[in-house]
Every structure is written in C-alpha cells, then in structure tokens.
Amino acid sequence: MFKWLSSDRPAPEALELEEKQRTLEAVEERYAEVHTEYATLQNELAAFKLRYWRRVGPLYARLDAVRAEIAAELARNAPRNPARQQAARAAGAQARASADSLHEAEEDVNSEAFEVNDDLKRLYRQAARLVHPDRADDDEDRSLRDEIMARINAAYRNGNGLVIESLIEEYQQRAEVGEEDAATRLIRTIRTIARMRDQIRETEAAILTLRDSELVRLQKIVIEAEARGVDKLAELAAGVERQIAEAEVRLERIRNMPQPLPR
C-alpha cells in the first residue's frame, strides 16, 4: 500500500508510481512478445540446422576432408610456396570445423522438429515477463532467474508446457519480495522500464539479423520446395556427392603426379 500524506491526497511519488506501473505493463507485454518471437525463431532454426546437418553434414565433412588432403598434397609438392602452405592450413581448419559440427549434430539429443502452438507461446510469454534475467534487481535475483530461465528455454524447445508452468511457480516461490516504500518502488520501476526497453531494441535487432541469415534463406528454400513435393535436401546431398567424387579423382591424380627432382 502507498503511504499517504496528512490529507487524503496520495503522495506525488505514489501517483507517479501508478503511472509508471501502467507504462511497465505495456513495456512488459512488448518485451514478452519480442522474446517469444526470438526464442521461437531460434528453436525453429536450431531444429532445421540439426535436420540439415544430419542429412547433409556427413557429406560436407567428407568433402572438406578430401579438399584438405588435396591442399596438403599440393603444399607437400611445393614446400617453399607460402600460398600453398597457407591454403593447406586453411583447408585443414575448415575440415576440422566441419567434423566438429557433424559431431555436435550427432550428439544433439533434441528433435529435428520444433512444433509450437498458441498455448505454449502464451506460457513462454508469461515466463519472459516474470522470470527473464533482464528483470533482475540484484546479482542474487539474476542468478536465480538465469537458472530457471535456462530450464524454461529447454522446456520450450521440447514443447513441454507443463514444465514451463511448474518453473514459473518455482520462481515465484523462491523469489524473495521485500517491503518497499513508494519512492523505492518508483525508482526500481523506472530502471526496469529503461532496462527492458533497451533489451527490446537489442532483441528486435537480433531477430532482424537472424531473419537475414543464410540459414533462414536455406530453410525457406527447403520448405518452399517441400510444399511442391521436392526433397531439396536430397538434391543438395546429391550435389555434394558429385563434388566429393570429383575431388577424390583430383586427389588421386595429384598423388600420381611425378614428384619434382630435388635441387
């Protein structure tokens, strides 16, 4: 309750607090919408990337490995050529990166599909409003929010609304709410509004960056092709297989080349 002056009129800070709380409610709603959109997009892309790597990744890893062998052979044949030495190092690094990405995809226990409905989005929006670490007032509160929000994100990825509900309840039970006067609450509310507006802008920018990524463009191509009954990933895989065959022929040809005589 607000503290009142000697008259029956509320204190100025109490009036301002009411106004700021209305502003905060609107900001919270936008904040929750933006974070839900971002989390949904992230999960959709993560599921597609996993599907892509499990389908085409082994072929790309093999292609990069053969290309690294080609570069290594060319560098071995020209030990004093700095360009070939650099090319061999770059090709080797690319092959290792592809192998690591493939290993991550093979170890990932998540599904290749991410299915979300309105109820699940509603629960995630509620979680973002109440639990997100951007709303923390101190380090202890942030640590608690970080822990629970990480579990909420995992539940959202797995489509488990019941877990999200239970985690929201867990946060509400574990969070400590102290007594504050109107002036203290006003300061905290103003700071929260400013912090959340900053996060809204940052998240909106992150969404635009994701939507402009190569992965999103590839996802769109694959989805549109599937709508026409075309398996675009199969076409991509066939193309990479042809590149592997060509690279292996080139590697064999390089290995069979006469070696230059030592000077």
Render each residue's pLDDT in the chain as its tens digit; 263 residues: 445 445 556 667 778 888 888 898 899 899 999 999 999 999 999 999 989 998 999 999 999 999 999 999 999 999 999 999 999 999 999 999 999 988 888 887 677 778 889 999 999 999 998 898 877 778 888 899 999 999 999 999 989 999 999 999 998 888 766 666 777 888 888 888 898 899 999 999 999 999 999 999 999 999 999 999 999 999 999 999 999 999 999 999 999 887 665 55
What is the pTM (predicted TM-score) of this model? 0.77
Distance CA 28, CA 20 (A): 12
Q: How many CA atoms lie within 13 A of 246 on its CB side?
A: 6
Are 53 and 105 in contact by the 8 Å Cβ rule? The answer is yes
CA–CA separation, 215 vs 211, rounded Å? 9
Integer Cα distance of 61 and 53 in angstroms: 10
